[in-house]
Structure 1
Amino acid sequence: MKQTINRRSVLRAGLATSGAALLASFPRAGAFAQEPEKPTEIIVRAWGGEWVEALKRGVSDPFTAKTGISVRHDLTEDNEIQPKVWAAVDQGRVPPIHINWDTTTNATKSALRGVTVDLSDLPNLAGTTDLAKPVGLDGYPIVNTYGYVYVLAYRPEAFPNGAPKSWKDLLDPRLKGRVAFYNDGIGFHFPAQVAGGGKLEDIPGNMQPAWDFIAKMKEQKPLLGEDPDFTTWFQNGEIDAACTISTNALAAKRNGINLAWTIPEEGCKFDTDGLWIPKGLPENELYWAKEYINFAISKEAQQVWLDGLGLPGVVPGLTPPEGLAGDPSYPTKEEDFKHLIRISSKVQVENESDWFAKFKAIMQG
């Protein structure tokens, strides 16, 4: 789950920090004369499955090797950790995590609430593309780290006539009980609006076409879950199609499952995730949390991390993962975004909770 039209086209002034200086000291006001005391560990909230494994390989393990600081991954879901972090900051307590790996929409809610630390002083921001900058916010209360597409992933053997051309193809009776979505419908609301005969420009004012189409999809008795579930379901042969982030389909394919993905005629949602730090950390822990995020937006870290996820990063010159160069799920040029649906962060922040509740109400009704 935002960005300006040319968000990937222009480098901000300056060059990327060289690999030898990835963990350079920060020239901040009130900066330490020398490196502050290192905590035993820092805690990074993350998603499970292939997601945390990729983060571990590309960012966390190398960070530990460079600094000696252990990284613990808290796999509490992003929507569950949010109120805990907010409460800690509001009450002046030390937050339960050092870094939140979050959807940009969720992170924007936290930024607007005033619980995030500004990250504008990260040296490696100088070498990132426009995708790294959160749109509509001052400074960098969040650093976007990559983009992704909610594709229609499918088993080719279940679609012998070729890739499904429309989301409506999932209404085929033979797919009953064999289709999957996120349990809050994220990624599916916008294509459902088009598939239901509505217009994207009517979002959020009139989304009845989306709800009507989702009600039809409910009759298919879809499986509902989170990121690790999709990979497992495909691997176990439990589903034939899903609206999911391409990373989950790629993980199943890398594990030997015959899987493909497509962008149907109604389009697919494009979004970003990012990293942010809650207020209230001890100064030395804040310093090293910033160093972690600074490393995460280096070319060295992004190349390994995002190769594992199969996603386009915020540093130019990354080598696409094998087989993904030119893939519609791996947009890098402006023309690649032609069939992707991008809705502003402001609209999503103001309405996403209601959309999630509406989707759940339909599916549980």
Structure 2
Amino acid sequence: MSRQINRRNILQGAGATALAITGICKPAIAKTIRGTGELVVFDGGGVWGEAQRKAYFEPFERETGVKVIRNPRVETGAVRASILAGAPRYDVAVAAGGVTPGFERDGLLMPIDYQYFEKEDLEAFTPIATSKYTCPHIVYSLISVYSKAAFPNEAPKTWADVWDVKRFPGKRTLAGGTWGPTAAAFEIALLADGVDPAKLYPIDWDRAFKSLERIKPSILKWWTSGAETSQLLIDKQAVIGSAWNGRVFGAIEEGANLGVSWDQGIIQYDNWYVLKGAKNAENAMKFLGFSARADRQAEFAKHILYSPPNANAFKLIDPARASLLPTNEKVRGLQIVQNYDFWSQQTKGQDNERYAVSQWEAWISGVR
């Protein structure tokens, strides 16, 4: 089964036909998922973490009796190291769709036990299906965000506008390449340099770094957490940045005077997965089945504007709110789907994710 999201199926939207799950498992109706003990979960922090807590962590704890321990996110390398050391940081974690293929190839994940999932939930996962090792968590978009106070008349729309410091003066905040594919630093650098979206891949590394070199003097900070961009703009330290749509709209809902542009947004998705050696593996599988429910995903979308992968959840979401999700009909055609096939390939003997990080570290240190 493919775990990739591509332009064709994302444009089909929530009404797309769910991919078959035959061969992965024989799902049974999970009438009860009660248990004992603990579960150590990945907490995304900020608005994301709060949405996880309200929709998944606390309800799961109440329903099952399993104590949920929330651990904050760390870099992918640290998660990998914890598994290799035989002391996985989490039982259930979250990673971008471009990261998990490398974990799978290296034998760092546990196969998901789908007996705890409801059949109707499994069949409704679209446009991204479940796989042997991963269960989709969210679909989201990395978009440009700006201070409305700084630009009350003409606002930046494209990544080229973000790079245009004469027309839109002020400090920027972007995610660094230490995130690999997750923050799309290389894609947006190429788009800013005028690359046709249809020709983004394979990534021209040299051209991307030349583009990054142009914007580097205007970077206040290469952000390291999803909540930073909004805060830096609110504090008037920066005027433009990149951010995930859920983080931005969370700040706007709290009164932040920010504007966004969906033009050339990078559509991405995250997966739940169970780390090899997880001490609470059975509870982890029960949690994944619980998180796959349409009502849980609809509740999650009430607190942060990330699209639910279970299409049945849309039936439970207010239409006005559903219109703000990144896969809604009005904006999905403006965006570009990140190519996880490319990110799972290799350059010079390294996964592109690791290659990108190594090249970024060399560049930021001035030796590339």
TM normalised by structure 2 equals 0.80
Count of residue correspondences:
334
Distance 1:224 1:322 in 2: 35
The residue type equivalent to 2:103 in the other structure is S
For residue 31 of structure 1, what is the aligned residue in structure 2? none
Distance 2:168 2:318 in 1: 31
For residue 117 of structure 2, what is the aligned residue in structure 1? 123
Q: In the alignment, is the contact (CA less than 8 A) between 2:159 and 2:191 conserved in 1?
A: no
1:100: how far off? 0.7
Unmatched 5+ stretches in structure 1: 15-20, 27-34
The residue type equivalent to 1:149 in the other structure is S
**Which residue of the other structure, out of 64, 68, 77, is the alignment partner of 2:65?**
68
1:252: how far off? 1.4
The residue type equivalent to 2:356 in the other structure is W
Q: Cα RMSD between the aligned structures?
A: 2.8
Q: Percentage identity across aligned positions?
A: 16
1:211-360 equivalences under 5 Å are 211-225=209-223, 226-264=225-263, 267-282=264-279, 285-317=280-312, 318=314, 319-320=316-317, 324-327=321-324, 330-333=326-329, 336-349=331-344, 350-360=351-361
Distance 2:203 2:233 in 1: 36
The residue type equivalent to 1:110 in the other structure is F
1:255: how far off? 1.8
Q: In the alignment, is the contact (CA less than 8 A) between 1:218 and 1:362 conserved in 2?
A: no
Deviates more, 1:207-216 or 1:56-65: 207-216
Distance 1:73 1:176, change over 3 A: farther
Distance 2:212 2:318 in 1: 33
For residue 187 of structure 2, what is the aligned residue in structure 1? 190
Distance 1:271 1:361 in 2: 26
Distance 1:72 1:167 in 2: 39
Q: In the alignment, is the contact (CA less than 8 A) between 2:161 and 2:168 conserved in 1?
A: no
Deviations 1:191-229 (A, max 9, x none): 321321334535235343322221111121332112132
SS, match of residue 202 in structure 2: coil
The residue type equivalent to 1:306 in the other structure is A
Deviates more, 1:179-188 or 1:147-156: 179-188
For residue 54 of structure 1, what is the aligned residue in structure 2? 51
Distance 2:364 2:320 in 1: 36
For residue 208 of structure 2, what is the aligned residue in structure 1? 210
Deviates more, 1:182-191 or 1:209-218: 182-191
Deviations 1:153-187 (A, max 9, x none): 11222223333132222232486652111132722
Distance 2:68 2:363 in 1: 40
TM normalised by structure 1 equals 0.81
1:111 aligns with 2:88: no
Distance 1:343 1:330 in 2: 14
Unmatched 5+ stretches in structure 2: 22-27, 345-350
1:178 aligns with 2:189: no
Deviates more, 1:353-362 or 1:302-311: 353-362
The residue type equivalent to 2:235 in the other structure is N
Deviates more, 1:317-326 or 1:203-212: 317-326
